[in-house]
Chain A
């Protein structure tokens, strides 16, 4: 029998306001094995931990139950306290009486009763706990960054500057991401390319950074400190080592009708292309779906004009297998599809565009060379309407429930830039709220209104209808003046909601990183661990975690890098000792456990066993503690009940069940 101490935390009033902690202390004293129980306002404080240390010493405790917040918060704290007191850290169990009790129940009698039962279950479990020893695993000192936008570039630069090797995997032909598509950035109106391209060059030139563009992550195995990743380098059809980036192939390519993804499909590009002039690497790829050579076998113009002889039609996808200690996800975002928003006539009129499309139109390298013009007839607009929150803050299922966060500011930027360059254009913005929480953000928005005379109307737009005269009729409401507005506009710009890049789901699955209902990656803790995934060794950078602007993205990218560096700086990691353990006398060597093990941790050995005095050689299961992650799949599969999971043994869980059902 253990000698158990129970420590009940008030958590200030978080627990004590709903749970009668004194009564819990009183009641658990009669539980088997309990020889000490006390309560304290903050068990996690130094003074609280000293209470545990003193009790262990005085009462010679062998097991500890702390009734407090979730083990996800303070299990580590109390395990350390137990260690300081000379106990094995795994002789501690937590009864979660805050998140699972006091915070969700109002009635004190009921909550107290439940807290006692939860404590009882933890006591029953700790009675069966055994000391466990954590093992060690090594750390591969190399990081993988998935995504080569500003988030990925910044993370890679920061990790590389700390002296660690970094690989960036980017699925498009160039790094740069969404930021490379922007014309200007708020709230300073910096030219986006002017501040981004030096970073791209720096990343490409960094001796510790290796960039795989036009590549995707195919497979991830392993765990924190020791991931093995298959990277698929898609066939570029151009030999990167030979290509000089002269661009002649792109000029001469006869197939020029593919939609230009970089310009959001507003114009076309050749079949062999680099997405934009400053692309890194400056090596084109052949779009095999559009290339005449690949479609018909005839053509081969690019091969003929390439003086470097870099064109290689026979290139194949290449799989590169590499080991990493840490993985940073920086997959970024896209704008939502507008198929659910017919009322804005986006699919009917070329003059209804998204803000990202306007960004390309305003850019000197864009489809209109930077001239603001209607895409339908090339005329200069006189009347422009911006519609905010298209698909954001949506209460029905058509759009997204969240605020996309960046739209208020970029719309103010667009309005300001247009009024500055084309003072004769009237700009009206329909908004629900203008949200400008950020350094110099509100000042920026006020300048748009006060200095540039942008007309802000509080209200939503119900319909945009193309008129026979080529204009667009915008029907909206003005909530402040309580009236309907009918406005003829030349162009309508939709502040389209952003959503995580579609591929993030697949990547999250490969990494077993959790994802929320909107496909944003979940943080380990929303406030205290915002750049870490709950999956150890996986870190989050940029919009894949939630909507954010460039300064926030860069800050988070740096934070993710620091967390990754913190991991890479370690030589060894302690492993989870809650691993599977076979009872060699019960094992009949059937192999079923090995079949369900996702880590290949189970092997078989011919081993001499002593079965009640009978010595014989049997085939028995062996678990490799370094590989076993402690899921427990094998324990349930085992037909003879030989396999058990340390820390979550059959007896321990049954004891909990019994305590709850008592």
Chain B
């Protein structure tokens, strides 16, 4: 999609675990399954490495949406990491919702290394959702928004 002026282009941070979701994103790439360029991926060893602080920081710095992708429950490379991530994110997302960052701006999705299609679909959906929610102004540090 070419850039057009005044169109809202969200800033989206995707944390992907090294073993499943990052590889799933690679598969989406090698299969040429497109999703919007608004999504930028940060590789972490496991979804349990994602500190809620990172997500707060992203919103503080002007992110419009944050998605965390990990291995399917039961398939974590480290056995139990994604369960910790799931619990932490459930709490964090509830708190963020309370603070005014809508639930739709945060998401946890399980994507395996073989699910390139799912990765691309998830990102397309997520970007659409964020676009429908519009710019995140509630918690953003306004100094970062210029």
State the A residues within 8 Å of B (CB): 70-72, 96, 98-101, 103-107, 109-111, 113-114, 117-118, 121, 508-509, 512, 514-517, 522, 534-535, 578, 596, 598, 629-633, 635-637, 645, 648, 650, 653-654, 656-658, 660-662
Contact yes or no, B81 A109, CB < 8 A = no
Contact yes or no, B78 A650, CB < 8 A = no
Residues of B contacting A70 with CB < 8 Å? 22, 26, 29
A111 to B36, CA, bound (A): 10
Residues of A contacting B23 with CB < 8 Å? 72, 514, 534
Contact yes or no, B46 A517, CB < 8 A = no
A632 to B43, CA, bound (A): 13
State the B residues within 8 Å of A (CB): 1-3, 11, 13, 19-20, 22-23, 25-26, 28-30, 32-35, 37, 40-46, 48-54, 57-58, 61-63, 71, 74-81, 84, 88, 112-115, 120, 144
* In the complex with contacts A512-B77, A661-B58, A107-B1 CB distance below 8 A: yes
Contact yes or no, B44 A632, CB < 8 A = yes
Contact yes or no, A636 B42, CB < 8 A = no
Secondary structure call for the A interface: helix
Contact yes or no, A636 B57, CB < 8 A = no
In the complex, residue of chain A having the shortest beta-carbon distance to the beta carbon of B48 = A633
Q: Which of A121, A514, A656 contacts B20 (CB 8 A)?
A: A514
Residues of A contacting B11 with CB < 8 Å? 660-661
Contact yes or no, A96 B41, CB < 8 A = yes
Rounded to whole Å, the gap between the CB of A556 and the closest CB of chain B is 18
A508 to B120, CA, bound (A): 25
A113 to B37, CA, bound (A): 9
Q: Which of A100, A514, A650 contacts B41 (CB 8 A)?
A: A100
Contact yes or no, B29 A633, CB < 8 A = no
Contact yes or no, A578 B45, CB < 8 A = yes
In the complex, residue of chain B having the shortest beta-carbon distance to the beta carbon of A658 = B61
A271 to B76, CA, bound (A): 41
Rounded to whole Å, the gap between the CB of A468 and the closest CB of chain B is 48
In the complex, residue of chain B having the shortest beta-carbon distance to the beta carbon of A109 = B3
A508 to B48, CA, bound (A): 20
Residues of A contacting B63 with CB < 8 Å? 657, 660-661
Contact yes or no, A632 B41, CB < 8 A = no
Contact yes or no, A522 B84, CB < 8 A = no
Residues of B contacting A633 with CB < 8 Å? 46, 48-49, 78, 80-81, 84
Rounded to whole Å, the gap between the CB of A576 and the closest CB of chain B is 9
* In the complex with contacts A70-B29, A114-B40, A631-B45, A636-B75 CB distance below 8 A: no
Rounded to whole Å, the gap between the CB of B19 and the closest CB of chain A is 6
* In the complex with contacts A629-B78, A660-B11, A111-B37 CB distance below 8 A: yes
Rounded to whole Å, the gap between the CB of A511 and the closest CB of chain B is 10
Contact yes or no, A661 B13, CB < 8 A = yes
A71 to B57, CA, bound (A): 25
A535 to B25, CA, bound (A): 18
In the complex, residue of chain A having the shortest beta-carbon distance to the beta carbon of B41 = A100
Q: Which of A113, A578, A645, A661 contacts B62 (CB 8 A)?
A: A661
A96 to B23, CA, bound (A): 12
Rounded to whole Å, the gap between the CB of A173 and the closest CB of chain B is 29
Contact yes or no, B57 A515, CB < 8 A = no
A375 to B37, CA, bound (A): 61
In the complex, residue of chain A having the shortest beta-carbon distance to the beta carbon of B81 = A631
A325 to B54, CA, bound (A): 37
Contact yes or no, B40 A117, CB < 8 A = yes
Rounded to whole Å, the gap between the CB of B137 and the closest CB of chain A is 14
Contact yes or no, A118 B32, CB < 8 A = no
A512 to B43, CA, bound (A): 19
Q: Please give me the 8 A-B residue pairs with the lowest Cβ-Cβ distance, nearest first.
A: A99-B29, A632-B49, A516-B114, A661-B61, A631-B78, A631-B46, A633-B48, A103-B29
Q: Which of B37, B61, B113 contacts A662 (CB 8 A)?
A: B61
A109 to B78, CA, bound (A): 39
Rounded to whole Å, the gap between the CB of A90 and the closest CB of chain B is 14
Residues of B contacting A654 with CB < 8 Å? 53-54, 57
A157 to B94, CA, bound (A): 56
Residues of A contacting B49 with CB < 8 Å? 631-633, 635-636, 645, 648, 653
A635 to B50, CA, bound (A): 9
Contact yes or no, B50 A636, CB < 8 A = yes
Residues of B contacting A632 with CB < 8 Å? 44-46, 48-49, 81
A516 to B20, CA, bound (A): 11
Contact yes or no, B41 A598, CB < 8 A = no
Contact yes or no, B53 A650, CB < 8 A = yes
Rounded to whole Å, the gap between the CB of B26 and the closest CB of chain A is 4
Contact yes or no, A637 B84, CB < 8 A = yes
* In the complex with contacts A99-B25, A99-B29, A648-B44 CB distance below 8 A: yes
A103 to B37, CA, bound (A): 11
19 intermolecular pairs with C-beta atoms under 8 Å apart: A70-B26, A96-B41, A104-B33, A104-B34, A117-B40, A512-B75, A512-B79, A514-B75, A515-B112, A596-B48, A598-B81, A633-B49, A633-B84, A653-B44, A654-B57, A656-B42, A657-B54, A660-B58, A662-B61
In the complex, residue of chain A having the shortest beta-carbon distance to the beta carbon of B9 = A110
Rounded to whole Å, the gap between the CB of A50 and the closest CB of chain B is 27
A98 to B29, CA, bound (A): 7
A62 to B108, CA, bound (A): 36
Residues of B contacting A629 with CB < 8 Å? 78
A101 to B25, CA, bound (A): 10
Q: Which of B19, B28, B48 contacts A514 (CB 8 A)?
A: B19
Q: Which of B32, B40, B48, B84 contacts A660 (CB 8 A)?
A: B40
Q: Which of B40, B57, B78 contacts A598 (CB 8 A)?
A: B78
Contact yes or no, B45 A630, CB < 8 A = yes
Rounded to whole Å, the gap between the CB of A410 and the closest CB of chain B is 27
Contact yes or no, A636 B48, CB < 8 A = yes
Q: Can you name 15 extra interface pairs (CB under 8 A) apart from A632-B48, A657-B42?
A: A96-B26, A100-B26, A100-B41, A103-B29, A103-B30, A105-B34, A109-B3, A111-B37, A515-B112, A517-B115, A630-B45, A632-B49, A653-B44, A653-B54, A654-B54
In the complex, residue of chain A having the shortest beta-carbon distance to the beta carbon of B19 = A534
A522 to B115, CA, bound (A): 11
Contact yes or no, B2 A110, CB < 8 A = yes
Q: Which of A110, A512, A522, A662 contacts B76 (CB 8 A)?
A: A512
In the complex, residue of chain A having the shortest beta-carbon distance to the beta carbon of B33 = A104
A71 to B30, CA, bound (A): 14
A382 to B111, CA, bound (A): 52
A113 to B53, CA, bound (A): 27
Residues of B contacting A653 with CB < 8 Å? 42, 44, 49, 51, 54
Contact yes or no, A514 B29, CB < 8 A = no
Contact yes or no, A636 B88, CB < 8 A = yes
Contact yes or no, A110 B1, CB < 8 A = yes
A142 to B81, CA, bound (A): 29
In the complex, residue of chain A having the shortest beta-carbon distance to the beta carbon of B114 = A516
Residues of B contacting A512 with CB < 8 Å? 75-79
User: Which of B81, B88, B120 gathers the greatest number of chain A CB atoms within 10 Å?
Assistant: B81
User: Which of A509, A516, A657 gathers the greatest number of chain B CB atoms within 10 Å?
Assistant: A657
Contact yes or no, A635 B3, CB < 8 A = no
Residues of A contacting B25 with CB < 8 Å? 99-100
Q: Which of A104, A596, A598 contacts B32 (CB 8 A)?
A: A104
Residues of A contacting B144 with CB < 8 Å? 661-662
User: Which of A98, A121, A660, A662 gathers the greatest number of chain B CB atoms within 10 Å?
Assistant: A660
